[in-house]
């Protein structure tokens, strides 16, 4: 058996949370693998052994055969291009294909007869063939389905998850024709131990991806709505879910903020396509409205609790711990914690903000937020533990001690141990 079971020459376009692990994995099994990203600083950091996403260690980067480049010329000669660029939504929450179209424009001039372009980015059903295909044709002068071929294999990488990795998650693959499907399946089969699922068409694979996160979004929205109902009924949601969870078929979801690159974005790709074909989604958009409003709800609850405790919000010292979209990752994409902060500011509060994982420059650039040092979090009137990073939950972190006696502690996900007497603080969780 060859040392390199994959005979394709691989080029991965986009070296973020998704693309970098894919590129490194292919570099182990394909003799020629290049990872391309337009961000020169990102490529330079990776070449120096620094991955700001935290997905790969310096030793993993140091031992890879992967060639990293920010020069489009590096894409020449590949037989399989894998596009792993972001697919965000714009201000009107419509699909924004600009990054994907830019990737197609970069790849197009280097396409050769028989090459395959595989899209991993989340798109609506039909986009690979209706959006990427024509863009690649324009950039290459070649014809899709005749000169080059399309495939789709949805990414399923979960940032910060050390258990569910690229290699351990079943990979859905699809192709424009039977021969393309087999080439894509063979390539991914060499890096994914969990197995390959061959979808019957590209549109099926695209639809499967977009509903995975839509389903999760709706389930969390239901939990969030229940939490708002139970809050008005003075019933602890966490205890309700624990009781209901004793039934074998009760789905175990919890209320919380919904952000990140997938769950808070993907449903809009599906609803946009649904509206295009004449269907007005109801449940999906209702779930999105609920989840997008949770930051405001949490902030308003904090204000009400402060007022009830005799604390004047306009002069209160308030802290917010954690601003990334989930715990123990540096990813700020679509975080809903800034919504909490914005709402607090509308009441005249300028909260202290801390996060041990995110880059201060990124927080300033993306949200205009300045991060504070943790020693400043003392004698607070109110504290919101928005993201339960492991460092905050450590026994010696003393999060509860940051709040003065009689102050308000909002432990959003209910993850803190009760280290102080229940009457010492006003405590609340979703």
Is 262 in the active site? yes
Q: Which of 104, 132, 262, 358 is catalytic?
A: 262
Would you call 53 helix, strand, or coil by DSSP?
Answer: coil
Contact 20, 51 (CB under 8 A): yes
Nearest to 354 by CA among 306, 309, 316, 397: 397
Burial 130-169 (b: 16+ CB within 10 A, else e): ebbbebbbebbebebeebbbbbbbbbbbbbbeeeebbeeb
Q: Which residues pair with 12 in a beta bridge?
A: 35, 82
Nearest to 12 by CA among 157, 213, 177, 194: 157
- 97 vs 206: CA distance, rounded Å: 15
Would you call 260 helix, strand, or coil by DSSP?
Answer: coil
DSSP letter for 72, please.
G
- 402 vs 291: CA distance, rounded Å: 29
- 284 vs 266: CA distance, rounded Å: 11
Q: What is the DSSP string of 165-209?
A: -GGGSPEEEEESSHHHHHHHHHHHHTT-TT-EEE-SSHHHHHHHH
- CA of residue 358 relative to chain centroid, distance: 14
Which distant-in-sequence residues (6+ apart) come within 8 Å of 87 by Cβ? Answer: 95, 96, 97, 99, 100, 121, 122, 123, 265, 269
Nearest to 288 by CA among 182, 240, 208, 216: 216
Contact 156, 190 (CB under 8 A): no
Contact 213, 221 (CB under 8 A): no
Which distant-in-sequence residues (6+ apart) come within 8 Å of 374 by Cβ? Answer: 354
Active-site residues: which are they? 262
């Amino acid at each position: 058996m060859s040392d390199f079971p994959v005979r394709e020459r691989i080029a991965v376009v986009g070296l973020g949370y998704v693309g970098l692990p894919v590129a490194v994995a292919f570099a182990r099994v394909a003799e020629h693998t290049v990872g391309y990203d337009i961000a020169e600083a990102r490529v330079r950091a990776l070449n120096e052994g620094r991955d700001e996403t935290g997905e790969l260690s310096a030793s993993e980067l140091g031992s890879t055969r992967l060639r990293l480049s920010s020069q489009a010329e590096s894409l020449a000669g590949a037989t399989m291009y894998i596009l792993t660029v972001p697919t965000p939504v714009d201000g009107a929450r419509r699909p924004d294909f600009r990054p994907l179209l830019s990737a197609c424009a970069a790849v197009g001039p280097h396409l050769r007869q028989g090459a395959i372009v595989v899209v991993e980015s989340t798109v609506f059903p039909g986009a690979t063939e209706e959006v990427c295909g024509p863009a690649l044709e324009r950039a290459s002068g070649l014809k899709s389905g005749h000169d080059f071929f399309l495939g789709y294999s949805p990414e399923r990488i979960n940032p910060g998850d050390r258990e569910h990795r690229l290699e351990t998650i079943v990979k859905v693959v699809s192709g424009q024709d039977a021969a393309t499907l087999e080439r894509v399946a063979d390539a991914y089969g060499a890096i994914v131990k969990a197995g390959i699922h061959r979808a019957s068409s590209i549109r099926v694979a695209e639809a499967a991806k977009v509903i995975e996160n839509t389903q999760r979004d709706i389930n969390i929205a239901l939990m969030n709505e229940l939490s708002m109902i139970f809050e008005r009924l003075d019933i602890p949601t966490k205890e309700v879910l624990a009781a209901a969870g004793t039934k074998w078929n009760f789905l175990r979801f919890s209320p919380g903020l919904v952000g990140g690159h997938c769950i808070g974005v993907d449903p809009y790709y599906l609803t946009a396509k649904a509206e295009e074909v004449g269907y007005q989604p109801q449940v999906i958009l209702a779930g999105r409205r609920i989840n997008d409003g949770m930051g405001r709800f949490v902030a308003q609850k904090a204000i009400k609790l402060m007022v009830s405790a005799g604390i004047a919000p306009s002069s209160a010292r308030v802290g917010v711990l954690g601003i990334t979209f989930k715990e123990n990752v540096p990813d700020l994409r679509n975080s809903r914690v800034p919504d909490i902060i914005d709402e607090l500011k509308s009441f005249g509060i300028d909260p202290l903000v801390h996060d041990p994982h995110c880059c201060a420059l990124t927080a300033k650039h993306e949200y205009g937020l300045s991060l504070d040092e943790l020693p400043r979090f003392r004698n607070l009137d109110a504290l919101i533990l928005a993201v339960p990073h492991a460092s905050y939950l450590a026994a010696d972190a003393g999060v509860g001690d940051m709040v003065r006696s009689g102050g308000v502690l909002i432990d959003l996900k209910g993850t803190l141990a009760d280290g102080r007497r229940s009457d010492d603080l006003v405590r609340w969780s979703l």
